[in-house]
Amino acid sequence: MYIDMKTGKGPFRLVPGRQVEGKAPDIFLISMDMVPPQFYLEDGANTPALDSLKKDGVFFRNAFASAPLCGPSRASYLTGRYPYITGNSERAHDGHATELRGSDIIWPEYLKAAGYHTRHSGKSHVGTEIFTRVFSENDDPWHRWSPPWYDDEKYLQFLGERKLERFSFDREIRGISWSGSGEGNSYGGWLKEQNGRPFPEDATYPAFLVSKAINSIERRRDTGKPLYFQLDFFGPHQPFAIPGGWEEREREIRRGIKLPESWKEWEKSGFGEIANQPRVYQLYRKNWGMRRRETLIDYLVANQLQYELIDRMIGNFLYYLKEKGLYKNSLIIFIADHGEMNGEWGCIDKGAYLNPQVLRVPIILKLPDGFSDSISAGGSFDSHSAGISAGGSSAGHSAEEGVTKPRGVVCDTPCSLLDIAPTVLEAAGIEIPERLDGVSLLDTLSGMKRPDDKPIMFDVWNHVVPNPSVGMIFESSQEISEGKFYLYTYNATDSIDELYDISGYSGLENLFGNPDYEEVYREALSVMNRCLSQDERWEVYKGYFQLENAEKLKLPPLDTQKFL
């Protein structure tokens, strides 16, 4: 079959035996925007909806985005390939790719061609052309980082139906300018009352997106078709918009708030430069640095409140799916597009740099209850090889009619948002000849080792400032850390690289330059050289990397001009 039968674009093949109760499974992808790892790796956040998904599926807590920015990350996981988009549209140079080409294929397009009813609600940030093609002309995806609540006419109508107007802030969080004084960036805050009453949570933008999603599902014409729905929230990305009714929860969060240790060290230093750190971080602190303790506390509190508000909206959506009988036999995936500094090293938001705080993301995978195929060819998943532990259930998995299906477990094996494309296509029974850079999460669960030609890599080029850098995940074979996974980042325009142990989940410590990890660093150089050399798409970094590290890599003399 083909996505376009006339031109032969997008060939694919349907594979039998992947159906649930006689049809392909319904599929739901739910995404948040910019979620700090602390929210899902540490205790404290009140997220009953996401907790329920974890209990019904698998939580991949060592997952990573391909880029720390919205546009590049979304372009990557929707195509299933490393992106040629390396920066968001609002700050890109003229000529830089900032949205997907019309000739690109995103994997929901295969679902549509295979007979799925495909619909969407929320943010795009990869260009509107491809979304309207895949999700219908009725789709209205917004292609920008900023929230559309100021000028989204449908949202304003949604407010009007509730006798409300555009909202404004009662308490607004403001940073300070680069000079160290005067008001800087606005990060939103707490919403003003309207009509003498607190602004209701069911009139917030996340509630509006869920309302749109439910309306779209309710009014689909052919309920016999399998359904794919993509729900893309804006948030907890700032600017925050906290409604009324959350005052007690705010007080609870404030009582338990913990400032990052790295921020407290920065405060002790008098907010000076931080040692062993690429210059780009200092530039971000100059623009977005949180030097006021009370402002950082407000930011951390509002960020968590926004996260919990969206969790409540996800709960409403999941409740609807259960009421309509759509939950049980559906494949449901929850992700974030990238992380957020959340006060680490004095920074907030994300940036043109690569570290675990901005690259690590949550992935939750709930398989259909009636999934007719086992997780692996042997009929079970290898919990030891996959780094799996019991999460929400004592058994860690359940067997139904001879099929082993994980439920309530946690997987620590490193994986990538790139792995979503092959996972969904496998679940839908679709095989494609096109290149995919990820591996199925079902293979990860079965304990299969990630192939060397599908490494977990990432890069970024520009955001507030340009900082071309490339990074990767690798497993060390050195005695000091055998079996541990590390994140190595090569900063092309800085003398300081970055090396992080990702086996733990708290804080940031750059091990670059630490003599105890010299051999791990040299191993990182060797693995990076192999990764950059085996795939021509990384040629843009390879020449620079090899020139700078030729002696350490013991490279032979060669002509680097690429004459032929």
Quickly list H helices, 34-152.
Answer: 38-41, 48-56, 70-79, 107-113, 128-135
Amino acid 386: pLDDT: 62
Looking at the structure, do residues 45 and 73 belong to the same domain, yes or no? yes
Domain boundaries, position 533: 457-553
Looking at the structure, do residues 467 and 439 belong to the same domain, yes or no? no
Looking at the structure, do residues 265 and 222 belong to the same domain, yes or no? yes
Report d(CA 467, CA 48) in Å as an integer: 38
196 token code pair: 């003498």
Pair type for strands 485-491 and 466-475: antiparallel
Amino acid 374: pLDDT: 42
Q: Are 367 and 59 in contact (CB under 8 A)?
A: no
Amino acid 178: pLDDT: 79
Note whether residue 152 is domain-resident.
Answer: yes
Note whether residue 48 is domain-resident.
Answer: yes
Domain count, the chain: 2
Pair type for strands 498-501 and 485-491: antiparallel
Report d(CA 510, CA 524) in Å as an integer: 14
Note whether residue 563 is domain-resident.
Answer: no
210-244 core/surface letters (b: 16 or more CB in 10 A; e: else) = bbbbbebbeeeeeeeebbbbbbbbbbbbbbbbbbb
Note whether residue 414 is domain-resident.
Answer: yes
Amino acid 377: pLDDT: 36
Picking from 431, 451, 330, the residue whose alpha carbon sits closest to that of residue 107 is 431
Q: Are 14 and 430 in contact (CB under 8 A)?
A: yes
Report d(CA 28, CA 63) in Å as an integer: 19
Looking at the structure, do residues 115 and 76 belong to the same domain, yes or no? yes
Q: Are 469 and 86 in contact (CB under 8 A)?
A: no
Note whether residue 560 is domain-resident.
Answer: no
Looking at the structure, do residues 147 and 108 belong to the same domain, yes or no? yes
450's enclosing H/E stretch is none
68-95 core/surface letters (b: 16 or more CB in 10 A; e: else) = bbbbbbbbbbbbbbbbebbbbbebbeee
Note whether residue 312 is domain-resident.
Answer: yes
Q: Are 204 and 233 in contact (CB under 8 A)?
A: no
- Say if residue 236 is preceded by a cis peptide, omega within 30 of 0: yes
Looking at the structure, do residues 463 and 502 belong to the same domain, yes or no? yes
Looking at the structure, do residues 486 and 348 belong to the same domain, yes or no? no
Name the phi and psi angles at 316, rounded to 5: -65, -40
Note whether residue 559 is domain-resident.
Answer: no
Note whether residue 562 is domain-resident.
Answer: no
Report d(CA 305, CA 300) in Å as an integer: 9
Q: Are 112 and 134 in contact (CB under 8 A)?
A: yes
Looking at the structure, do residues 146 and 213 belong to the same domain, yes or no? yes
Looking at the structure, do residues 424 and 492 belong to the same domain, yes or no? no
Digitized pLDDT (tens) for each residue of the chain, 564 residues in all = 999 999 999 999 998 766 666 688 999 999 999 999 999 999 899 999 999 999 999 999 999 999 999 999 999 999 999 999 999 988 888 999 999 999 999 999 999 999 999 999 999 999 999 999 999 999 989 998 888 888 899 999 999 999 999 999 999 999 888 777 778 889 999 999 999 999 999 999 999 999 999 999 999 988 989 999 999 999 999 999 999 999 999 999 999 999 999 999 999 999 999 999 999 999 999 888 899 999 999 999 999 999 999 999 999 999 999 999 999 999 999 999 999 999 999 999 999 999 999 999 999 999 998 774 444 333 344 555 566 665 543 334 444 444 456 889 999 999 999 999 999 999 999 999 999 999 999 999 988 999 999 999 999 999 988 999 999 999 999 877 778 999 999 999 999 999 999 988 877 999 999 999 999 999 999 999 999 999 999 999 999 999 999 999 999 988 878 787
Looking at the structure, do residues 135 and 264 belong to the same domain, yes or no? yes
CATH, residue 253:
3.40.720.10
Looking at the structure, do residues 480 and 424 belong to the same domain, yes or no? no
Looking at the structure, do residues 528 and 422 belong to the same domain, yes or no? no
Amino acid 18: pLDDT: 63
Report d(CA 326, CA 216) in Å as an integer: 14
7 token code pair: 């031109």
